[in-house]
């Protein structure tokens, strides 16, 4: 059920680790309107967005937008009334153990072929000392995310170690900052559309670049693609590669499968099969994997 109330174990996890994944937090249907507005921003990026990774030596009208940055609510204040917004404020208040208010939203959009990582940083390094121990962020992707397409990474427990020194990358002219935390405690958080992560203002976090160019080329040349129902499995049939997508939890997947099949049908895509792991015994799974053409 979307829009859950934070329970005691989630509150305790957040206090100890400084981050939390909330699965099925928001109803994907409630995100459609937001997605349309974000598409408008991407389309009119020269006027409605900044380039957060604006390279030094590049003129304003030549910006690449490797990390497009904007604020949908600045253009459409009615988003303040959206269910996902009021829910995230209530859930965030429970995690912090004090009432928090919505401050700002931030759209970060990365192009699939040539983007930049959002380097390790702590939000308090941007926010300043007025928000010492007072702020947290709810991060809400508008598509499934994994390590290949920009999912969130955290330094586990890093919120208890103060604000690290932050620097500006030498080749960037926007206000991008980075720090260099101990990556041995890094956790990555692949999540599906509708799930969100929360992080404390002092938790170091990063998202990798989305550089699907190389993966796309490898998949295009492969005889077949076998993978989970993640972003690459949806893409592979459209690259002309027969695909077997395995899954073990069909919650939220039905509409994806319907939309994918519809899209494949309209562009003569390659074969697309799905395999529900829960419906198979182990021996059948081995046999099935061997049988796939």
Residues lying near ligand AKG in the complex (CB under 6 A)? 108, 118, 123, 137, 139, 205, 207
Nearest approach in angstroms of CB 14 to ligand AKG is 15
Q: Between residues 45 and 220, which has the closer beta carbon with respect to ligand AKG?
A: 45
CB atoms within 10 A of CB 28: 18
Distance, in Å, from the CA atom of 165 to the CA atom of 178, rounded to the nearest integer, reads 8
Shortest distance, CB of residue 52 to ligand AKG, whole angstroms? 9
CA distance 117 to 243: 29
Nearer to ligand AKG, 195 or 207 (CB): 207
- Return d(Cα 87, Cα 85) in angstroms, integer: 5
* Closer of 118 and 215 to ligand AKG (Cβ): 118
DSSP 240-277: T-EEEEEES--TTHHHHHHHHHHHHHHTT---EEEEEG
Q: Which is nearer to ligand AKG, 139 or 225 (CB)?
A: 139
Q: Which CB sits closer to ligand AKG, 14 or 139? A: 139
Query: What gap in Å lies between CA 293 and CA 238, rounded to an integer?
Result: 18
Q: Which residue number places its CB atom closest to ligand AKG?
A: 118
Shortest reach from residue 114's CB to ligand AKG, in Å: 15
Taking the complex as a whole, the smallest distance from the CB of residue 78 to ligand AKG amounts, in Å, to 22
CB 276 within 8 Å of CB 248: yes
Spatial separation of the C-alpha atoms in residues 293 and 287, rounded to whole Å: 12
Q: CB 9 → ligand AKG: shortest distance, Å?
A: 24
């Amino acid at each position: 059920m979307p829009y859950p109330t934070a329970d005691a174990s989630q509150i305790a996890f957040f206090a100890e680790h400084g981050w939390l994944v909330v699965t099925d937090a928001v109803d994907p249907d409630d995100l459609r309107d937001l997605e349309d507005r974000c598409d408008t921003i991407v389309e009119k990026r020269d006027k409605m967005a900044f380039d957060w990774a604006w390279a030094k030596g590049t003129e304003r009208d030549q910006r690449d937008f490797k990390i497009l940055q904007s604020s949908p609510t600045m253009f459409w204040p009615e988003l303040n009334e959206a269910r996902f917004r009021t829910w995230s404020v209530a859930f965030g208040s429970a995690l912090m153990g004090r009432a928090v208010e919505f401050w700002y939203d931030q759209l970060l959009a990365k192009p699939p072929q040539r983007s930049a990582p959002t380097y390790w940083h702590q939000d308090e390094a941007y926010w300043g000392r007025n928000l010492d121990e007072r702020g947290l962020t709810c991060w809400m992707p508008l598509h499934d995310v994994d390590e290949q397409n920009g999912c969130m990474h955290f330094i586990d427990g890093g919120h208890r170690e103060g604000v690290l020194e932050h620097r500006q990358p030498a080749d960037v002219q926007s206000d991008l900052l980075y720090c260099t935390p101990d990556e041995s405690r890094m956790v990555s958080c692949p999540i599906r559309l509708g799930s969100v992560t929360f992080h404390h203002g002092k938790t170091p976090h990063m998202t990798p670049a989305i550089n699907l160019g190389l993966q796309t080329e490898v998949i295009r040349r492969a005889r077949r693609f076998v993978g989970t129902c993640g972003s690459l499995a949806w893409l592979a049939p459209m690259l002309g590669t027969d695909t077997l997508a395995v899954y073990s939890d069909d919650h939220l997947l039905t509409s994806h499968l319907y939309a994918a099949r519809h899209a494949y049908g309209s562009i003569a895509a390659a074969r697309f099969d799905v395999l529900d792991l829960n419906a198979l015994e182990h021996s059948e799974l081995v046999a099935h994997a061997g049988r796939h053409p």
